[in-house]
């Protein structure tokens, strides 16, 4: 019997999470991950990696809850294990603050994070421009450590890794029986999904070890996220902006906005600046289809378009994608089936 050859395109947090799920669950498949960029050069590498999410408009809330919960539980187990420092996964407590009481007073994920509650008036006193807030403990997953850790886990499960750019699905169809598409923003050109667009984000990494709590403005534009080696301060959300260069005006605005929330940041040393393009889409695409390539019908499982929440949802959508891969395998013609 032939071994089923599976290829995963993408080495960001979505690609490696999916690769680990597939390789560990389906040892009878041969799994190869192909990407042109690897850590530390993916979008995932610079993300703050805080677990948090916005609601996507057209995906049933139950499915989004599953994605969040599966991710949270997976990362919480890592945070509580000896792997925590190597994997770059830590617990993080703090506050999300709002200038006006939001229409949705309780986000859908509030039941999955730890100790979610409204902030008290005395906690809010230090934020005079804000009149409502939520306090909770969530997880911070730092992909510059997490990606190499996942890669190691993938290789231990028998996975193989290749560095190259994929120019068309065609070129994968000769060597593989099933394609898993985790190419993020690359999907735009790879198969021409016009729905995918960049949302530019700029952040600074600063040295401020005295800061131990996150602060996030509910508008999503201003945040302070303490991490293992530095504090990430941000940010920007610029729709359709492809510029990867650091913008000094953005850096200045970020530091001003963040210092208003946390005055001690004026004493912090700037360690670096970074720009990433969130692979955005109205809804992330986690679904399967069959494509016809040179007379061969090839199953493709898509998993891309996570926008600003790819670190949060990576494991949950990977579990979902694994389910789709299993469905594809069941429907394969007997020749290719084990």
Ligand X SMILES: *[C@@H]1O[C@H](CO)[C@@H](O)[C@H](O)[C@H]1NC(C)=O
Ligand Y SMILES: Cc1cc2nc3c(=O)[nH]c(=O)nc-3n(C[C@H](O)[C@H](O)[C@H](O)COP(=O)(O)OP(=O)(O)OC[C@H]3O[C@@H](n4cnc5c(N)ncnc54)[C@H](O)[C@@H]3O)c2cc1C
List residues near ligand Y by CB under 6 A.
9-15, 34-37, 42-44, 46-50, 165-166, 182-186, 190, 201, 203, 234-235, 276, 278-279, 304, 306-312
Q: Which stretch binds ligand X (CB under 6 A): 50-58, 69-77, 191-199, 321-329?
A: 191-199
Q: Are 287 and 45 in contact (CB under 8 A)?
A: no
Binding partner of residue 181 among ligand X, ligand Y, none, CB cut-off 5 to 8 Å per kind: ligand X
- φ, ψ of residue 49 to 5 degrees: the values are 80, 25
* Token pair listed for 179: 């394609």
Binding partner of residue 284 among ligand Y, ligand X, none, CB cut-off 5 to 8 Å per kind: none
Interaction of residue 101 with ligand X, rule CB under 6 A: yes
Binding partner of residue 302 among ligand X, ligand Y, none, CB cut-off 5 to 8 Å per kind: ligand X
Those residues whose C-beta lies under 8 Å from the C-beta of residue 134, and which sit 6 or more positions away, are: 95, 96, 110, 116, 117, 118, 119
* Token pair listed for 108: 């859908």
* Token pair listed for 131: 């009149």
177 vs 332: CA distance, rounded Å: 9
Indicate the SS3 state at residue 6: strand
Q: Which of 240, 241, 238, 266 lies closest to 252, judged by CA?
A: 266
Interaction of residue 280 with ligand X, rule CB under 6 A: no
Instruction: Give min distance, CB of 335 to ligand Y, in A.
Output: 28
Among 44, 173, 187, 280, binds ligand X (CB under 6 A): 187
Q: Which stretch binds ligand X (CB under 6 A): 176-184, 218-226, 242-250, 268-276?
A: 176-184
- Which CB atom, from 190 or from 258, has the smaller least distance to ligand Y? 190
Those residues whose C-beta lies under 8 Å from the C-beta of residue 190, and which sit 6 or more positions away, are: 9, 166, 168, 169, 181, 183
Binding partner of residue 233 among ligand Y, ligand X, none, CB cut-off 5 to 8 Å per kind: none
- Which CB atom, from 17 or from 183, has the smaller least distance to ligand X? 183
Binding partner of residue 11 among ligand Y, ligand X, none, CB cut-off 5 to 8 Å per kind: ligand Y
Q: Are 39 and 13 in contact (CB under 8 A)?
A: no
Burial of residue 252, with CB atoms counted within 10 A of its CB: 0-12 exposed, 13-18 middle, 19 or more buried? exposed
State the residues that interact with ligand X by CB under 6 A.
9, 101, 105, 118, 166, 169, 179, 181, 183, 187, 190-193, 300, 302
């Amino acid at each position: 019997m032939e071994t089923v050859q599976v290829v995963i395109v993408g080495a960001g947090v979505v690609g490696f999470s999916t690769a680990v799920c597939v390789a560990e669950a389906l040892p009878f498949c041969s799994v190869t991950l192909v990407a042109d960029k690897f850590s530390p050069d993916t979008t995932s590498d610079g993300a703050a990696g805080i677990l948090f999410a916005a609601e996507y408009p057209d995906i049933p809330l139950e499915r989004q809850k599953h994605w969040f919960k599966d991710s949270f539980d997976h990362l919480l187990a890592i945070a509580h294990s000896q792997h925590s420092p190597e994997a770059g996964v830590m617990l993080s407590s703090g506050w999300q603050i709002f200038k006006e009481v939001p229409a949705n007073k309780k986000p859908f994920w509030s039941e999955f994070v730890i100790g979610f509650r409204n902030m008290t008036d005395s906690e809010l006193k230090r934020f005079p421009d804000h009149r409502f807030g939520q306090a909770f403990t969530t997880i911070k997953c730092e992909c510059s450590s997490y990606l190499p850790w996942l890669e190691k886990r993938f290789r231990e499960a028998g996975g193989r890794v290749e560095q190259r750019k994929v120019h068309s699905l065609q070129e994968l169809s000769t060597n593989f029986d099933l394609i898993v598409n985790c190419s993020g923003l690359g999907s735009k050109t790879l198969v021409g999904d016009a729905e995918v667009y960049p949302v530019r984000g700029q952040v600074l990494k600063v040295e401020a070890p005295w800061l131990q709590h996150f602060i996030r403005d509910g508008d999503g534009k201003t945040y302070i996220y303490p991490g293992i080696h530095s504090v990430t301060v941000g940010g920007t959300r610029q729709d359709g902006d492809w510029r990867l260069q650091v913008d000094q005006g953005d850096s200045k605005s970020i530091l001003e906005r963040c210092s208003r929330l946390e005055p001690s940041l004026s004493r912090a040393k700037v360690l670096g600046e970074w720009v990433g393009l969130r692979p955005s889409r109205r809804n992330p695409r986690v679904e399967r289809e069959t494509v016809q390539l040179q007379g061969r019908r090839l199953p493709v499982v898509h998993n891309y378009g996570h926008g600003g929440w790819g670190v949060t949802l990576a494991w949950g959508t990977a579990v979902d994608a694994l389910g789709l891969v299993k469905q594809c395998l069941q429907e394969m013609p007997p020749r290719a089936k084990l």
